[in-house]
Amino acid sequence: MFGLSPADWSAVALSLRIAVVATACALPFGIAVGWLLARKQFWGKTLLDGLVFLPLVLPPVVTGYLLLISFGRRGPIGEFLYDSFGIVLSFRWTGAALSCGIMGFPLLVRPIRQALESIDKRLEDAAATLGANAVLVFLTVTLPLALPGVIAGMLLCFARALGEFGATITFVSNIPGETQTISAAIYTLTQVPGGDAAAGRLVLVAIVLALAALIASEWLARRAAARFHGE
């Protein structure tokens, strides 16, 4: 299929694994930050909002460099993780998942925040008057009503993670079988004489995967909205 070599399929499989892990790890933080921005007023809210969306406007290589100096073996966080837990993120696929999760985080938070802001708070108040505590109200009322936004955010984050390049290659380099994603493999092939055909096939795969994620995001969000609104 697509005429890909085993090395190309390895890059595709690695990209999918990284995107899934990045999205899954970012999701709890995305829900928490989306709820905080949607429901709370506090000093520094504008600053937090700006920090969340900063990866969208910063050059990806800047984000990758910041990750490298923070989570590298000699960085303050990276050194602590290695000394305490033996965890190494730089030049590992787990580091690629971290960078992809950060780059996709704004696209995860935005739909979740918008979904939470659109919920009629009287429904939550009604649940509270029936004796449900705040956690139970959130799990049984708020989160189900926000599910279309959560699904949309997850798939947008997943699609962004699939296409991430600049921050990832800066933080974890381009190691075949370890950190070489679809984007990195395409970049490598464009530097090799006669690699244009193979690069083109990977480009086609990247387009198909990204388009499938976007279509699935719209379809699942519509299904969830119809389900919870009784349509």
Report CA torsion sign: 20, 97, 2, 4: negative
The pLDDT value recorded for residue 2 is 58
Specify the CATH number for the domain of residue 201. Answer: 1.10.3720.10
Residue 185 lies in a domain: yes
d(CA 182, CA 162): 8
d(CA 91, CA 77): 15
CA distances from 166 to 39, 64, 80, 195 (A): 34, 7, 25, 21
Which residue type sits at 145?
Answer: L
The pLDDT value recorded for residue 110 is 92
The pLDDT value recorded for residue 210 is 84
Going residue by residue through the chain (231 aa), what tens digit of pLDDT does each one get?
556 778 888 888 999 999 999 999 999 999 999 999 988 888 888 899 999 999 989 999 999 999 999 998 888 998 999 888 888 898 899 999 999 999 999 999 999 998 888 887 888 778 778 777 888 888 888 888 888 889 889 988 998 998 899 999 999 988 888 889 999 989 888 888 887 888 888 889 888 888 888 887 777 767 766 655 555
Residue 131 lies in a domain: yes
The pLDDT value recorded for residue 224 is 65
Helices (H), 118-195: 121-129, 134-137, 143-145, 147-163, 166-172, 182-190
Residue 1 lies in a domain: no
- 120 SS3 class: coil
Residue 113 lies in a domain: yes
Q: Which class for 229: exposed (0-12), middle (13-18), buried (19 or more C-beta within 10 A)?
A: exposed
Residue 12 lies in a domain: yes
Residue 127 lies in a domain: yes
d(CA 43, CA 93): 37
Residue 201 lies in a domain: yes
Number of domain units in the chain: 1
Please give the residue range of the domain that contains residue 162. Answer: 6-228
